[in-house]
Amino acid sequence: MANSKYEYVKAFEKENYLLPDTYIVIRVDGKGFHKFSKYYNFEKPNDLKALTVMNKAALKILEKYSDILMAYGDSDEYSFLLRKKCELYERREMKLCTLFASLMSTYYMFYWNKECPNRQIEEEMIPTFDGRAVIYPNFETLRDYFSWRQVDCHINNLYNTTFWNLVKKGLTPQEAEQKLMGTVSSDKNEILFKECNINYNNELEIFKKGTILVREYENYKQQSNEQSLSSRQKQRQDKSRKKAEIKQYHVDIINDDSWWDQRPWLIE
């Protein structure tokens, strides 16, 4: 940047460097997607094409940044886990949040137009995402974070599935809402089964569990203390991260300890 007498204004800028050696989770969420989904006639309760677009956009972001170890997404949101030692953009919070939100917005737009040639994005209703970063100090809270998001997916999906099937049966949205007020999970399962002939267990896993994208290492070696690694060793590590295949799952990551145990690189 060229020197000038105006340069002092730079001192007004403040940067937050996310605490070192902690897990960074960046969550992006679509702005006003309730309206967005109406505008583009999403299938209710779940539009599979729209979920595919979300997953393709998120996969592209993982492919771009090898510091991302896994991601979890459902509805109009995605959470990206960055490894503890990640030094991407010096861990600058604003840089990371704005970057992830804009990557999601532009890739979403790109894949939408590719996947849905019959309902192209119009300038009146473009997909935009906000982003936030949260740091988690240990693996336990990190796991609880992902459990929180997956439980949210389950609760919303059970509600939406029951709600929309009641509406499809002829109830008005108000009547369906009234009927579901104060019900617990087992009530909704029963309403679905008895009144709509639907066994919730048979719904698609992607709807019930959301989507997990994860880097899968073939021959993972436990890392020694990263601070003591030479730059060559770090480069080699980075290479193996880049090489690791990214896989997609729709499984329970709340109760299944083995899912996490099998992937020690997520903890490291």
> What, of ligand ATP, Mg ion, none, does residue 59 touch, CB below 5 to 8 Å by kind?
none
Site string for ligand ATP, 68-107 (x = CB under 6 A): -------xx-------------------------------
Strand blocks (E) in the chain:
23-30, 68-74, 77-82, 129-136, 211-216, 245-249
Does residue 77 bind Mg ion (CB under 5 A)? yes
Query: Closest approach of Cβ 31 to Mg ion, in Å?
Result: 6
Instruction: Looking at residues 201 to 240 of the shown chain, list those that interact with ligand ATP (rule: CB under 6 A).
Output: none
> Which tokens belong to 214?
């994860």
Total binding residues toward ligand ATP, as defined by CB under 6 A: 15
**Contact with ligand ATP (CB under 6 A): which of 18, 25, 28, 51?**
51
231's CB contacts (< 8 A; 6+ apart) are: none
Q: How many helices (H) and strands (E) would you count in the chain? A: 9, 6
Q: Closest Cα partner for 74 from 204, 208, 185?
A: 208
Nearer to ligand ATP, 44 or 60 (CB): 44
CB closer to Mg ion out of 53 and 266 = 53
Residue number, 44 or 250, with CB nearest to ligand ATP: 44
d(CA 261, CA 267): 9
Binding range to ligand ATP, per CB under 6 A, among 28-36, 79-87, 170-178, 210-218:
28-36
Amino acid at 36: F
How far apart (Å, rounded) are the C-alpha atoms in residues 24 and 86? 8
Whether the Cβ atoms of residue 201 and residue 231 lie closer than 8 Å to each other:
no
168 contributes a contact to ligand ATP by CB under 6 A: no
37 is in the binding site of which of Mg ion, ligand ATP, none (Cβ under 5 to 8 A by kind)? ligand ATP
SS3 per residue for 55-103: HHHHHHHHHHCCCEEEEEEECCEEEEEECCCCCHHHHEHHHHHHHHHHH
Of 45-53, 102-110, 114-122, 181-189, the window that binds ligand ATP (rule: CB under 6 A) is: 45-53
Does 29 sit near Mg ion (CB under 5 A)?
yes
Task: Name the site residues for Mg ion (rule: CB under 5 A).
Answer: 29-30, 33, 75-77
